[in-house]
Chains A and B, each alone.
Chain A
């Protein structure tokens, strides 16, 4: 399966600052990546679909001006949380496409823990 990395693994920032999270597909050229958010004891919630060379597609209720997504290359997508507030503290996970047994499926990064003070 595909290998996906995220950086940083955890970040603590002050309220009002912006934080950038990187998602890299290490062994696969990903035209599409996905960004999820997961609050404690809850399931993953899809935030947006990141498309290489075009604008991201955001899920309903996700502010595109607050969560900026850039997918400038086939191996890198970034999520920038702008003017972060404590309620943005969460576990952010990206995923990309890979192949298992001849069938495409999604592979996930290790996640980034964001804590906004």
Chain B
């Protein structure tokens, strides 16, 4: 499974856009990129998943360059409640099958007032 590298921590202010970049140099052809958010003493919460280019949903955008060796999670206009650890994971998706994801160290995002 591809190893991921993220910044250990980031600080931001309320209302700002936050971009968290993850490196995954040895990503394989079948690998998808998934981002999770985790609050203390809670299970990770799915944010967004993509394979290439750009994916957007109601909470975030995911930018993936053509070489797919990195990805950037973009959180628009963060609030204090977005303070959490964000994990970037890379794993294989087989149709109708599950493969485990390997968690990296994650990025502690702290949103300041």
Residues of chain A whose beta carbon lies under 8 Å from any beta carbon of chain B: 1, 4, 6, 31-32, 34, 36, 43-46, 49, 91, 93, 95-97, 100-101, 103-111, 113
* Beta-carbon contact of B43 and A104 below 8 Å: no
**Which residues of chain B from 62 to 107 have a CB within 8 Å of any chain A CB?**
87, 93, 95-98, 100-106
* Beta-carbon contact of B93 and A43 below 8 Å: no
B110 CB within 8 Å of chain A: no
Q: Number of B interface residues, CB 8 Å?
A: 25
Point out the residues of chain A lying under 8 angstroms from B34, CB to CB: 105-106
B61 CB within 8 Å of chain A: no
Point out the residues of chain B lying under 8 angstroms from A101, CB to CB: 49, 57
B94 to chain A, nearest CB (A): 8
**Which one, B32, B45, B95, B105, contacts A108 given CB within 8 A?**
B45
Point out the residues of chain A lying under 8 angstroms from B100, CB to CB: 34, 46, 49
Complex alpha-carbon distance, A92 and B70, angstroms: 29
Residues of chain B whose beta carbon lies under 8 Å from any beta carbon of chain A: 32, 34, 36, 41-46, 49, 51, 57, 87, 93, 95-98, 100-106
Interface centre among B41, B93, B104, B105 (most CB of A within 10 A): B41
Q: Given that A46-B100, A46-B102, A103-B32 are contacting pairs, would A108 and B49 also be in contact in the complex, using a CB cutoff of 8 Å?
A: no
* Beta-carbon contact of B45 and A43 below 8 Å: no
* Beta-carbon contact of B87 and A93 below 8 Å: no
* Beta-carbon contact of A44 and B44 below 8 Å: yes
B113 to chain A, nearest CB (A): 24
Complex alpha-carbon distance, A103 and B46, angstroms: 13
Q: Given that A32-B98, A101-B49, A103-B49 are contacting pairs, would A108 and B103 also be in contact in the complex, using a CB cutoff of 8 Å?
A: no
3 nearest interchain CB pairs?
A108-B43, A32-B98, A97-B98
